[in-house]
Amino acid sequence: MVTKVEKNFKTVQFQTDLLNWYRENKRDLPWRKQATPYHVWVSEIMLQQTRVDTVIPYYEQFMRLFPNMEHLAYAKEEAILKAWEGLGYYSRVRNLQVAVREVVEQYGGVVPRTRKEISTLKGIGPYTAGAILSIAYGQREPAVDGNVMRVLSRILHISDDIRKAATRKKFEECLYELIDPDDPGSFNQGLMELGALICTPTSPSCGVCPVQSHCQAFAVGIQTSLPVKTKKKKPKKVAIASFLLQDEDGHVLIEKRPDQGLLAGLWQLPLVESASDVKAACVERYGEVIAFEKTAGYVKHVFTHLVWEIDLYKGMLRKQDAHMQESHRFVPVADLEQYTFPVSQQKLLSYAFEEGWL
DNA sequence: AAATCGGGGAT
DNA sequence: ATCCCAGATTT
């Protein structure tokens, strides 16, 4: 067997120190009340790239709406998207439903217990597989997220770029040696909790760290220069013209986005990207527009890899003149809340309400 | 290996 | 402004 962790590392003492601290200091989080595979699964999907405080209310509502795998498996897509509205990375909830259906229909309702099998499920990658297996099933499997890489890069003084995929594997190999054999779930959560509460990115609280004596970075005073992470390039700007188009009854035209790609399947005010002649673009798509005007409405919305700079235009469209497409719908203002809108669109709609246009 | 996929909070 | 967050999937 190849050893990844240095011989003089006091593994058992480290496990004890971490677990004692975790048991005393762990936060009282809703998904820790019931650690069934389904509860852990839902929480871990929501927590991907998303902060604990953001997730809590979504998690509680989601478990009320879909209390078990059968409920989620047979829920309508509109219902699961609505429950995810505002949380971001919407493919997560679609993948979750696909995977839950597979468990219900192919695995007899039992979440698979092996890394190999569970990893075939949509949306379950290396981290989530390890989290479910260790927390719900008590298996000695690593769960390497951003917290764990930061904590371990400091404790073990690992300087590999954590943005590279190979680096995550290196941490997993270390963890197969380090992980506590008696309580792997608490050990993994302890590492993450330590990263969230003590071993924070810019100003770690090393003075009160329960594993300070094990930390090689602290020993030489370089904890704040770890982990090493190459920075990524800035998002690209995209000019957007959004249209608030109402018919003679005051119904609003909304559009369903394609089922692939950015914000897939969510609803929005009709929009065009980088049009030189906005009114012409609007008329070409939807037919003759009355009282078309640019409003003072403007929304800047930042995604991970691009920035939408949205100008809001408004006008009236007669139902009989409108070029209607399958993806579009005129809806009464009171019905808007039934649809799932991304945050950028919620900002636009809020503005329209404030102006008294809706 | 690099790009895509949301949104919010801390610094 | 920049980084980070209990990452996974697609290209």
In chain A, ranges of CATH 3.90.79.10 domains: 236-354
- Could you check: is the Cβ of residue A285 within 7 Å of any atom of nucleic acid strand C? no
- Could you check: is the Cβ of residue A147 within 7 Å of any atom of nucleic acid strand C? yes
One digit per residue, the tens of pLDDT, for chain A of length 358 reads: 557 788 899 999 999 999 999 999 999 999 999 999 999 999 999 999 999 999 999 999 999 999 999 999 999 999 999 999 999 999 999 999 999 999 999 999 999 999 999 999 999 999 999 999 999 999 999 999 999 999 999 999 999 999 999 999 999 999 999 999 999 999 999 999 999 999 999 999 999 999 999 999 999 999 999 999 998 888 999 999 999 999 999 999 999 999 999 999 999 999 999 788 999 999 999 999 999 999 999 999 999 999 999 999 999 999 888 888 999 999 999 999 999 999 999 999 999 999 999 9
CATH 3.90.79.10, domain A236-354, yes or no? yes
Instruction: Give the distance, in angstroms, between residue A317 CA and nucleotide B6 C1'.
Output: 32
In chain A, ranges of CATH 1.10.340.30 domains: 11-225
Task: Select which of A6, A24, A44, A354 is catalytic.
Answer: A44
CATH topology for A11-225 is: Endonuclease III; domain 1 (1.10.340)
Sign of torsion, CA A101 A104 A109 A115? Answer: negative
CB atoms within 10 A of CB A20: 12
Residues paired with residue A96 on neighbouring β-strands, in sequence order: none
Say if CB A245 and CB A289 are below 8 A apart.
yes
State which nucleotides on strand B lie below 7 Å from a protein beta carbon: 1-9, 11
Q: Residue by residue, what is the 3-state secondary structure of chain A? A: CCCCCCCCCCHHHHHHHHHHHHHHHCCCCHHHCCCCHHHHHHHHHHHCCCCHHHHHHHHHHHHHHCCCHHHHHCCCHHHHHHHHCCCCCCHHHHHHHHHHHHHHHHCCCCCCCCHHHHCCCCCCCHHHHHHHHHHCCCCCCCCCCHHHHHHHHHHCCCCCCCCCHHHHHHHHHHHHHHCCCCCHHHHHHHHHHHHHHCCCCCCCCHHHCCCHHHCHHHHCCCHHHCCCCCCCCCCEEEEEEEEEEECCCCCEEEEECCCCCCCCCCEECCEEECCCCHHHHHHHHHCCCEEEEEEEEEEEEECCCEEEEEEEEEEECCCCCCCCCCCEEEECHHHHHHCCCCHHHHHHHHHHHHCCCC
- Could you check: is the Cβ of residue A257 within 7 Å of any atom of nucleic acid strand C? no
Active site residue A44: yes
Half-sphere exposure of A189 (CA within 13 A, CB side): 29
- Which residue is nearest nucleotide C5, judged by alpha carbon to C1' distance? A49
Residue in this structure with the two tokens 């506590």, named with its chain if needed: A180
Sign of torsion, CA A109 A110 A115 A117? Answer: negative
Among chain A residues 86-125, those with CB within 7 Å of any atom of strand B: 86-91
State which nucleotides on strand C lie below 7 Å from a protein beta carbon: 2-9
